[in-house]
Amino acid sequence: MLSIEPTGKIMGAKVTGVDLSKPLSDAAFGKILAAFGAYGLLHFPKQTLAAAEHAAFMARFGEIHGMPDYKDPGSPDVNIVSNIIENGKNVGHPDAGMIWHKDMTYTPVAGYATSLNAFKIPRRNGQALGGTRFVAVQAATDDLPADVIEKLQGTYGLHSVEKFNSVIRQAGSKRATYSDIPDDRKRPVRAHPMLLTHPVTGKSVLYCDFNHIESIYGLEPQESEELLAFLADHQMKPKYLYTHEWDEGDLVMWDNLSTLHCATPDYTADEHRLLKRCQAMSDKVRNRGFIKAALSAASAA
């Protein structure tokens, strides 16, 4: 039987009693979608999925948007994230998510759900390394002062890949500068409201990926800079942080609309880590008919 057990921490729930390698019933999908809205992160232990099964599960949530590099041979919709080098070549994306971010904020339809399925997790003295850290942005939003909420109303964050790359270059990454990116990979700046109505919960949630936002449209430049700095500090308060420590077979999915995340590079090149990644965009969940049908199938079961 499908069971959803909250972590008891600021976010997240563990989901058992479901085999993600098989198509989900509408009732199970509806329950998972509702829990995903409520907890922001779902942990499904003991799911070692074939890439095509992983992609089929994620396609229930939205259109799949794979990364161009390091595709899994089993599905073009699944990518590999890993520090493993074979025959002198990286087998997966070696430095994914090394600073705080949301996935795909720089596309017209923003990223919704990202999932990682763990195949190899580094351990030292029995302790898992390379945990993924998250911010419970819904909780942080609920605590924002009324004057900040008022200031954010009607404003837009201008999201760009180049802003993100410039921040990681400062941290030592060799990511290309905008002029060095091939034309077909150049991404224009995209505007998204600073406050979203979450499509599943109906709650107002801050959409502030401070490492992707160049400025807030609708404010004076200095006001925008000060507010972005405030929102970064506010979201990063330790009380909103949650870490997922991986075990092989875990499938963890997170809601990019209501969380931020960051990888933890606390392991060496000899300590191998390999996860398979899939990502669903927010096209489906923006459709109220889709949400209504999914949630009513859950309650009818």
Ligand X SMILES: O=C(O)CCC(=O)C(=O)O
Strand order in the sheet with 156-159: 190-193, 156-159, 213-217
Task: Specify the stretch interacting with ligand X by CB under 6 A; choose among 15-23, 38-46, 95-103, 156-164.
Answer: 95-103
Per partner kind, with CB cut-offs from 5 to 8 A, the member of ligand X, Fe ion, none near residue 219 is none
Angle at 177 between CA 268 and CA 89, to 5 degrees: 40
Per CB under 6 A, 122 contacts ligand X: no
Instruction: Name which position in 277, 278, 285, 291 contacts ligand X (CB under 6 A).
Output: 277
Nearer to ligand X, 164 or 240 (CB): 164
56 contacts 23 by C-beta, under 8 angstroms: yes
Instruction: Name which position in 114, 165, 211, 235 contacts ligand X (CB under 6 A).
Output: 114
The nearest distance, CB 82 to ligand X, in angstroms, is 9
Helices and strands in the chain, H and E counts: 7, 20
Nearer to ligand X, 105 or 215 (CB): 105
| Burial readout 186-209 (b: 16 or more C-beta within 10 A, e: otherwise) | eeebbebbbbbebbbbeebbbbbb
Size of the site for ligand X (CB under 6 A): 10
Instruction: Name which position in 43, 163, 198, 261 contacts ligand X (CB under 6 A).
Output: 261
Residue ranges in 141-200 that form contacts with ligand X under rule CB under 6 A: none
Nearer to Fe ion, 224 or 279 (CB): 279
Which burial class, exposed, middle or buried, applies to 89 when counting CB atoms under 10 A from its CB (0-12, 13-18, 19+)?
Answer: exposed
Structure tokens of 85?
């080098």
Residues with Cβ within 8 Å of 244's Cβ and at least 6 positions away in sequence, in order, are: 12, 41, 43, 131, 132, 133, 134, 250, 252
Per partner kind, with CB cut-offs from 5 to 8 A, the member of Fe ion, ligand X, none near residue 132 is ligand X
- Of 279, 231, 225, the closest CA to residue 110 belongs to 279
Q: Tell me which residue has tokens 């109303």.
A: 153
The nearest distance, CB 102 to ligand X, in angstroms, is 9
Structure tokens of 291?
């949400």
C-alpha torsion sign, points 22, 39, 235, 245: negative
Instruction: Name which position in 15, 35, 78, 81 contacts ligand X (CB under 6 A).
Output: 81
Nearer to ligand X, 156 or 209 (CB): 209
Per partner kind, with CB cut-offs from 5 to 8 A, the member of ligand X, Fe ion, none near residue 277 is ligand X
Residue nearest to ligand X (CB): 97
Nearer to ligand X, 55 or 96 (CB): 96
Residues that bind ligand X (CB under 6 A): 81, 96-97, 103, 114, 116, 132, 261, 263, 277
